[in-house]
Chain A
């Protein structure tokens, strides 16, 4: 094919690249603007025309915000929640997925259908009964509420099951003949083989718990319990004229996600792709 790079073909390439670069720039622009504004003085955020290089560069914002906001508390709470939810989700999700993917017993498929069915049910439609149930257990206004809320989603089961089904059954058969129990097969054979899927589930769960806004908004009333999303939102309300500082807070709330994403990007893409293959 490379033998006849006609002029038409080459100009097609150039066009493709131009479109791609423009699209990438367009998509990233809000983030660029966010970072740039976080390094400006407040009165420099809105200027006509837009100043793309902050002058002077205002690193101070990144110090000030720790003093003006309860960033430490928010980050700590969010971290506690994200780690706990991710552990529970990955553990129970992959455990259940083994049952659904590798074991045969009556009721299995019907049960899995129930899991899938809830995908079409928006959380907003049952958040009220759920809230009342958790309140009646005295879990309202505790971090436990958010942990319970997020930890048993259908998503983890779904993702892990899709992956387990790609692992040949002959492997677990062989282990069974060798006398390994089902739990042993799950732990010693399937888990080590599913590291990519586990990684993607871990990243996806961590990120979605970190970013969750509605759950904490409904359940966490006390300031000491706030997560970074709730805190940031209240900070915006309180300091609504301090645009530069608000952008600084936004950058800080996105930064951990950006890092995790860059580190685990491969797994992320893989995880999303496997959940969607079987429509």
Chain B
């Protein structure tokens, strides 16, 4: 971009100025600007590139190797992926991941949106309630898991005691039962996350124009109709953002399960992230674990892209 300016002057037969032309400082200013811009970004980008981008890229290479804790990586092509096809534990982990996501995503969205709608009313104490609802989100997984495990304790746990007031018969075994462990984890996951998404929805609700609500009210729309025809369409950008975030978060669920059930009982709550951890950091099969990680990577990317495309089409 720098030279054509001078060339133009020459080809047009314009007199060459003695001093550098006024144009020239502008282009060097542009360059200087770019350099300064880069210096701003570089300290963070260098760390980000080395610690995030490089590992993401090398992941694909490692997934094509056989690599244990000792020795070098050996190229094995698609062997790891072929092994995944017949790996029962992998199938279980994949199934459980979708099980968790299929329940956690809708329940969290409905719960957090309901909370947000409740708090969007002009109620005294709404700020206090916002604080309360958000608190589980910022507390540590370990503390949360240990207290919930005790609450879920089948015989003397407060939850089953409470349930037995209303229903008779056998109580759920929660985290020690194959059938109930996953629902227990989903309950805790939803309880922990909903405050965060509630805040996002609350921010979104501020953008819903009051006149629209008023107009609908005058036209005789009831609360449900106003919600469905006015609030929800206005919330679409927020809904999209929340859905994308909850989805990714659900597919990568790990800490909570690791600390609450460690994937058990049996493999009842084994999820993909945890399987990666087991294969990689407990059995040191880095290559194979990376193949599982590639699967997780593509699930997240594909789901996100599908959501983006769907959102774009709806927008049009």
Partners in one complex: yes
- Interchain CB contact under 8 A, A214 and B38: no
Q: How far is the CA of A250 from the CA of B145 in the complex (A)?
A: 10
Flag the segment in A60-68, A125-133, A166-174, A191-199 that touches B: A125-133
- Spell out A's residues near B (CB within 8 Å): 16-17, 19-20, 23-24, 27-28, 30-31, 33-34, 37, 45-50, 91-93, 95-96, 98-100, 103-106, 108, 111, 114-115, 118-133, 148-149, 151-154, 156-157, 182, 186, 207, 210-211, 213-214, 218, 228-229, 232-233, 236, 243, 246-247, 250-251, 253-254, 257-258, 261-262, 265, 268-269, 272-274, 276-279
Residue of A nearest to B138 (CB): A207
- Please, which residues of chain A bring their CB within 8 A of the CB of B48? 115, 118, 152-154
Q: A35: nearest residue on chain B (CB-CB)? A: B147
Neighbouring B residues of A16 by C-beta, 8 Å: 118, 121, 123
> Which chain B residues lie closer than 8 Å to A127 at the CB level?
55, 276-277, 280, 293
Cβ A218 vs Cβ B161 within 8 A? no
Tell whether, in the assembled complex, residue B199 and residue A273 are in contact, meaning their CB atoms are under 8 Å apart.
Answer: yes
- A278–B204 Cα gap in the complex (Å)? 9
Q: A149 touching B51 by the CB < 8 A rule?
A: yes
Interface of A, secondary structure class, is helix
B99 at the interface (CB under 8 A from A): no
Q: Is A47 a contact of B156 with CB atoms below 8 Å?
A: yes
- Which of B59, B121, B147, B153 is the one whose CB lies under 8 Å from A126? B59
When C-beta atoms are compared, the residue in chain B nearest to A250 turns out to be B143
Interface presence of B81 (CB below 8 A)? no
In the complex, A46→B147 CA distance in Å? Answer: 12
B132 in contact with A24 (CB, 8 Å): yes
Please list 27 pairs of residues, one from A and one from B, whose beta carbons are closer than 8 Å in the complex, sorted by A's number. Answer: A27-B135, A27-B191, A31-B135, A34-B143, A46-B156, A99-B39, A106-B34, A115-B48, A118-B52, A120-B248, A122-B297, A123-B252, A124-B276, A125-B296, A129-B54, A129-B62, A133-B51, A152-B51, A210-B140, A211-B141, A213-B142, A233-B142, A233-B259, A247-B147, A247-B150, A276-B200, A276-B203
Residue B148 at the chain A interface, CB threshold 8 Å? yes
When the two chains form the complex, which single residue of B142, B147, B191 contacts A229, counting CB atoms closer than 8 Å? Answer: B142
Contact of B153 among A46, A257, A269 (CB under 8 A): A46
Chain B residues in 8 Å Cβ range of A265 = 131
C-beta contact mask, B143-161 vs A, less than 8 Å → 1, else 0?
Answer: 1101110110101111001
Chain B residue with the shortest CB-CB distance to A275: B200
- Top-7 shortest CB links A-B: A99-B40, A152-B47, A279-B241, A122-B252, A46-B156, A105-B34, A273-B203
A126 to chain B, nearest CB (A): 4
Q: Is B134 an interface residue (CB 8 A)?
A: yes
Contact, CB under 8 Å: B199 / A272: yes
Given contacts A46-B156, A125-B294, contact A261 B304 (CB under 8 A): no
**Does B281 lie at the interface of the complex (its beta carbon under 8 Å from any beta carbon of A)?**
yes
How many angstroms between the C-alpha atoms of A254 and B58 in the bound complex? 37
Q: Is the CB of A253 within 8 A of B143?
A: yes
Q: Which residue of B lies closest to A204 (CB)?
A: B138
Q: Are B52 and A104 in contact (CB under 8 A)?
A: no
Cα A236 to Cα B258 in complex, Å, equals 14
Whether the Cβ atoms of A103 and B43 lie closer than 8 Å is: no
B44 in contact with A157 (CB, 8 Å): yes
Inter-subunit contact B140/A254 (CB<8 Å)? yes
Specify the chain B residue showing the minimal Cβ separation from A49.
B161
Within 8 A of A (CB), among B239-285: 240-242, 244, 248, 251-252, 254-255, 258-259, 272-273, 276-277, 280-281
Q: Is the CB of B203 within 8 A of A118?
A: no
Docked pose: A265 CA to B131 CA in angstroms: 7
B293 lies within 8 A of A126 (CB) = yes
Q: B248 — nearest CB in chain A belongs to which residue?
A: A120
Question: Nearest-CB distance from B164 to chain A (Å)?
Answer: 9
Q: Which B100-147 residues have a C-beta within 8 angstroms of A?
A: 115, 118-119, 121, 123, 125-126, 128-136, 138-144, 146-147
- Whether B276 lies near A24 (C-beta < 8 A) is no
A20 touches B139 (CB 8 A): no
Instruction: Tell whether, in the assembled complex, residue A276 and residue B204 are in contact, meaning their CB atoms are under 8 Å apart.
Output: yes
